[in-house]
Amino acid sequence: MGGRPTTIRSLATYVPPRVLSNADLERMVDTTDEWILQRTGIKQRHIVEPGIATSDLAKEAAVGAMQQAGVRPDQIGFIVVGTTTPDTIFPSTACLLQTKIGATNAWGFDLGAACSGFTYALTTAMQMVATGAHDHALVVGADVMSSIIDYSDRTTCVLFGDGAGAVVLSPAGDDEPAIIDFAHEIDGSGGPALCMPAGGSRMPATHETVAQRMHYVKQDGQAVFKFAVRKSEEIARRVLSKNGIDPSEIDLFVSHQANRRIITAAAERLGLPESKVVINLEMYGNTTAGTIPLALADAAKDGRLKRGDLVLLASVGAGFTVGAVLLRWGL
């Protein structure tokens, strides 16, 4: 890629303290801990208290990321928030976050790519730094999925949790690890397989849409599963092939954390051993745009992610959106 090499200067995450376990869900819907674990690999998820919004989670992660990077809020030039659950349709969560953290010189926006929100936001912000438009960009992936989950629908309520992650991007120094490349695509024909039917301009909120519970996530699980497995492998191979890298050279594969079986199936197709694959969704569930930064943070904490490692990020989300980012870890 052209322009200045760009590195991830810091990483911080945040999840709300309240935990919703599989045992808790057993008392809410017709499900069991065994059923959830077998089909998803999830044991628990973190859920916000009433009144806590996406910008609140984003602020916690953003402040941590700026502190770790040694960057003041007024040095941030660009903010992009990958989210499916903005505080409001407008103003954007990026605007709300900008004032909460005091980033007085920043502009930005929300990016809607569902579970690919973080990979898409990362590459968007990278361009701002690479072109020289800004020296420091703040990338946030944050979602309060509990706000759009129907806790009477056992097929979806077991899957999702709330969480946020943030990174600061800056120009890389000489020979410093940097973001190498990315590959993204969308396939809008898959939109109906994973969506929230009401609440937009096509179907504004009415008594009927509320009564029919159309402001919650609806999913065709089988269609999403098959697409995610196939496309996770395809997009990974595309970015690796473009850069002349064999999958065996990857040090760590960090996929969107939606379902254990999706991650392991994609990893097996790439020929990656379990030791190179990060899976932490058992503790968080699917936090949508928050999963990849949460997985990176846990891998770094466990010593599995080290400076200089060749890392492959991959995501598939509603839309359908597909993304991969190839990078050398710089922390």
List C-alpha distances in Å: 129 to 111, 136, 144, 168, 174: 17, 7, 28, 10, 16
Which one from 46, 134, 184, 256 is the annotated catalytic residue? 256
Tell me whether residue 259 is one of the annotated catalytic residues: no
Judge if the upstream peptide bond of residue 91 is cis by omega within 30 degrees of 0. yes
Tell me whether residue 195 is one of the annotated catalytic residues: no
Tell me whether residue 136 is one of the annotated catalytic residues: no
Angle among Cα 241, 127, 276 to the nearest 5 degrees reads: 40
The whole-angstrom distance between residue 158's C-alpha and the CA centroid of its chain comes to 18
Assign 320 to helix, strand or coil. Answer: coil
Letter for the amino acid at 75?
Answer: Q
- Residues in Cβ contact with 18 at an 8 Å cutoff, skipping those fewer than 6 apart: 46, 47, 48, 49
Beta bridge partners of 322: 185, 316
Q: What are phi and psi of 210, to 5 degrees?
A: -70, -45
Would you say 122 and 325 are in contact if contact means Cβ atoms under 8 Å apart?
yes
Which one from 115, 134, 136, 157 is the annotated catalytic residue? 115
List C-alpha distances in Å: 269 to 6, 196, 290: 30, 31, 25
* DSSP assignments along 49-95, one per residue: PTT--HHHHHHHHHHHHHHHHT--GGG--EEEEE-SS-SSSSS-HHH
| Residues catalogued as catalytic | 115, 256, 286
